[in-house]
């Protein structure tokens, strides 16, 4: 891997185009194996394999959630629909300290892994972390899907798609 430093001119050219790369919006949920649970807004989620079904999830290296995912090896991603995007952004957009209850006021269910699944999401995918790669300022986790649960909005809503103004920040 090569470290490259972009000039201001290169960044100015790249930022608006990279920012137009669409992504879904998800809530990544996990636990620390000791009774604490959390959720975070995640937009860098992508299907990575058909057989077995695997999704990739990028988490900023500065987040404590990296340690939790390495430790417990289980997680879920709940797909945010258009109708709930505002409330989910408000709830999960800023993140939580490790011991702060992340799901106050949010209806959750549980599937096979035991991590929270958001009942009002379009649906949730849960499974086991099978690999991770540190790349730049994020760690990419590969989540092998073992269970899926339709949310209450599955038939009535559409996925929320996020477009950033700048490809170098959220």
Model confidence pLDDT, tens digit, residues 7-44: 999 999 999 999 999 999 999 999 999 999 999 999 99
Q: Is residue 116 part of a domain?
A: yes
Q: Is residue 165 part of a domain?
A: no
Torsion on CA atoms 18, 94, 112, 70, rounded to nearest 10? 70
Structural domain containing residue 103: 23-159
The upper half-sphere exposure of residue 111, i.e. CA atoms within 13 Å in the direction of its Cβ, equals: 25
Q: What is the pTM of this model?
A: 0.92
Residues 91-137 have pLDDT tens digits of: 998 889 998 999 999 999 999 999 999 999 999 999 999 999 999 99
What integer pLDDT is reported at residue 3 of this predicted model?
56
Number of domains in the chain: 1
Neighbour tally for 139: CB within 10 Å: 19
| Mean pLDDT, the chain, whole residue set | 94
């Amino acid at each position: 891997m090569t470290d490259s430093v972009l000039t201001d001119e290169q960044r100015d050219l790249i930022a608006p185009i990279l920012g137009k790369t669409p992504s879904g919006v998800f809530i990544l949920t996990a636990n620390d194996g000791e009774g604490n649970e959390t959720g975070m807004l995640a937009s860098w989620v992508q299907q990575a394999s058909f057989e077995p079904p695997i999704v990739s999830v990028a988490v900023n290296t500065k987040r404590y959630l990296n340690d939790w995912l390495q430790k417990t090896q289980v997680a879920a991603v709940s797909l945010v629909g258009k109708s709930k995007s505002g409330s989910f952004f408000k709830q999960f957009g800023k993140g939580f300290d490790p011991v702060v209850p992340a799901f106050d006021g949010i209806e959750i269910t549980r599937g096979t892994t035991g991590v929270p699944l958001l009942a009002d999401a379009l649906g949730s995918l849960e499974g086991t972390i099978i690999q991770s790669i540190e790349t730049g300022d994020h760690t990419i986790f590969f989540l092998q899907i073992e269970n899926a649960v339709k949310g209450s909005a599955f038939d009535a809503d559409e996925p929320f798609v996020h477009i950033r103004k700048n490809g170098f920040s959220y």
